[in-house]
Structure 1
Amino acid sequence: MPHGDPPVLGLVAGQGQFPALVAAGAKAQGWGVAAVGFAENTTSGLAAETDWFQWLKLGQLGKLVAFFRTHGVRQVVFAGAINKPRALDIRPDFRAARLLWNLRSKSDNTLLTAVAGELRREGMEVVSALRFVPELQTPAGQLTKRGLSRREQQDLEYGWPIAKAIGRMDIGQCVVVREQMVVAVEGLEGTNAMLKRAGDLGGRGGMAIKIFKPGQEEAIDQPSVGLSTVETMLEAGLTSLVVEAHTSLFFDRDASVALANRHGLCLYGRSDGQDGGD
């Protein structure tokens, strides 16, 4: 990189608004942004928000690395989810196939950690998106006017270690509990689809708990919630949401809290090891 040129951030872009927010935050801090996107995952308008952009197919790890090297990338951020059912149709190139061959499982944590390892071997540092969008960090404590009821605190104490255990097995990041029973566990369908299923199964009054997976790198696959999460909770009849504070992302937080307040929901940020009260 010529002397005086801005540093370049490599952005691996998945679904939603997150990649564009990271790109804007990085550019505001004086970074150039080289992003890769994936058909049927990445928003088509992202290219206009970055300095360099490349469409890839899932599994084209060699092209991803080559693109970042061409533009002098030294730090990389993963932002936005990849549709998991579509990810099952991955067609790996030689580099990705070699990587997959050496893995014991193809779970989220294993795959993302392996890809991060490949980037590090190329001299690129994988960093948390919160470095560029710190305002998205979920704060600790009660976020809405209504706090957790005694029954909800009991559900939280019951459900938190279960959510952590499921996360430790790299199954999912979210569970729904009610009356100290597990109603639903997140799988390939993603959080919102699971919340709808929980409403069908458990009726009104459930609690959603979304955690950071134990053993997961903080720079990749951070749990996230937002306005669509609260809207889905209302549709499903769930009444409280507990999100792991500091390591989770909360999009459209002001609008989410306002909507929750209008309907008497409780939104709460809990630090690992903290009790359910304030």
Structure 2
Amino acid sequence: MTNDHSKKIGLIAGNGQFPLIFAENARRAGLSVIAVAHTGETPPELSEKVDEILWIRVGQIGKLISFFKKAGVTDAVMAGGIRKTRLFEMRPDFRALTLLARLKEKKDDALLRAFAGELEREEIRIRASTLYLSSILAVDGEMTRPLTKAEREDIAWGWPLAKQIGGLDIGQCIVVRDGVVLAVEAIEGTDATIRRGGTLGKEKAVVIKICKPQQDLRFDIPAIGPGTIQAMIEVSASVLAVEAGKTLLLEKEKLLQEAASAGIAVVGIKGS
């Protein structure tokens, strides 16, 4: 399709399928996608799905801003995470060092807000990462099979706990069974948490993934994909409960089909 090149969206790409899916949807909506990708994080195939691309190392903020300004980008989206372990290997440029020096705390949210503020000072506005992606957001209710009474009880019991853990900025996912917390997500990510908790629960574990109470949807939104379902299948977990309207289902059709085939209940819960 021919894009209207007067309409541009900047894409700050992290890891996983999210940047690829965002680029496809934005171009389908008629936009020209100008991407900044991170070496060692972003899938190389993103190059084929955007109009312009610059590859940088984590922490090269000055380079990112210069590229967007030269391309005439005034609106941008952050899609895909940067592994937290990668942050310990970052080589910040002068702009990033100046930003870090101003911060009193180095938590994810504080770093991302400061980064967004730096771009907005340059008249580059960070938009919600759900832009153009409403068709793959989790809906309210059961998306594969009906829940059992015991599964509903586990979700109702675990949901507020997951919210509290998210509120402490520890992680977004917990694994529970029969009123017992089997695993809490920290730096290892959702799929590793599922494998750890599911192994301890033997089978029929309930996975709960929430949107943190303080989550800024401009640059951080929960996402699950077929890999999440695969991790659940490996440990015979039975339920995946996610926040309706605030969770992306990457490769949605494939994800729900694989979950249904494995007898896994995927359910969207309206957040508090």
Give the TM interval when normalised to the shorter protein. over 0.9
Determine if contact 1:7/1:73 at 8 Å carries over to the other structure.
Answer: no
CA shift for structure 1 position 128: 1.9
AA aligned opposite 1:46: L
Determine if contact 1:210/1:244 at 8 Å carries over to the other structure.
Answer: yes
Determine if contact 2:129/2:220 at 8 Å carries over to the other structure.
Answer: no
Question: Residue 130 of structure 2 aligns to a residue in which SS?
Answer: helix
**2: CA distance, partners of 1:231 / 1:190:** 14
State percent identity of aligned pairs: 39
Question: Residue 131 of structure 1 aligns to a residue in which SS?
Answer: coil
- Aligned position for 1:127: 127
- Aligned position for 2:245: 246
CA shift for structure 1 position 5: 4.8
AA aligned opposite 1:26: A
Offset from partner CA, 1:1-32 (integer Å, 9 cap, x none):
xxx85122110111122212211222222221
CA shift for structure 1 position 134: 2.0
Alignment of 1:168-247 (within 5 A): 168-247=167-246
CA shift for structure 1 position 153: 1.5
- Aligned position for 1:152: 151
AA aligned opposite 2:257: A
Determine if contact 1:6/1:30 at 8 Å carries over to the other structure.
Answer: no
Structure 2 stretches lacking a partner, 5+ long: none
> RMSD of the TM alignment (CA)?
1.4
TM-score of the superposition, structure 1-length normalised? 0.92
AA aligned opposite 2:263: G
**1: CA distance, partners of 2:124 / 2:213:** 24
Structure 1 stretches lacking a partner, 5+ long: 274-278
**2: CA distance, partners of 1:35 / 1:5:** 14
**2: CA distance, partners of 1:114 / 1:236:** 39
**2: CA distance, partners of 1:169 / 1:6:** 42
Matched, 1:114 2:121: no
**1: CA distance, partners of 2:154 / 2:88:** 34
Alignment of 1:1-278 (within 5 A): 5-145=5-145, 147-273=146-272
**1: CA distance, partners of 2:93 / 2:34:** 21
Determine if contact 2:5/2:31 at 8 Å carries over to the other structure.
Answer: no
Question: Residue 193 of structure 1 aligns to a residue in which SS?
Answer: helix
Offset from partner CA, 1:31-53 (integer Å, 9 cap, x none):
21111111111111211221111
CA shift for structure 1 position 202: 2.3
Q: Which piece of structure 1 moves more, 206-215 or 251-260?
A: 251-260
AA aligned opposite 2:56: L
AA aligned opposite 1:269: G
CA shift for structure 1 position 170: 1.1
**1: CA distance, partners of 2:200 / 2:121:** 46
**1: CA distance, partners of 2:267 / 2:83:** 27
**1: CA distance, partners of 2:181 / 2:122:** 43
Determine if contact 1:18/1:79 at 8 Å carries over to the other structure.
Answer: yes
Question: Residue 242 of structure 2 aligns to a residue in which SS?
Answer: strand
**1: CA distance, partners of 2:51 / 2:5:** 13
**2: CA distance, partners of 1:176 / 1:103:** 33
Determine if contact 1:35/1:54 at 8 Å carries over to the other structure.
Answer: yes
- Aligned position for 1:276: none
Question: Residue 110 of structure 1 aligns to a residue in which SS?
Answer: helix
CA shift for structure 1 position 245: 0.7
**1: CA distance, partners of 2:120 / 2:185:** 30
**1: CA distance, partners of 2:213 / 2:103:** 19
Determine if contact 2:175/2:198 at 8 Å carries over to the other structure.
Answer: no
Q: Which piece of structure 1 moves more, 48-57 or 258-267?
A: 258-267
CA shift for structure 1 position 188: 1.0
**2: CA distance, partners of 1:261 / 1:18:** 22
Q: How many pairs are equivalent?
A: 269
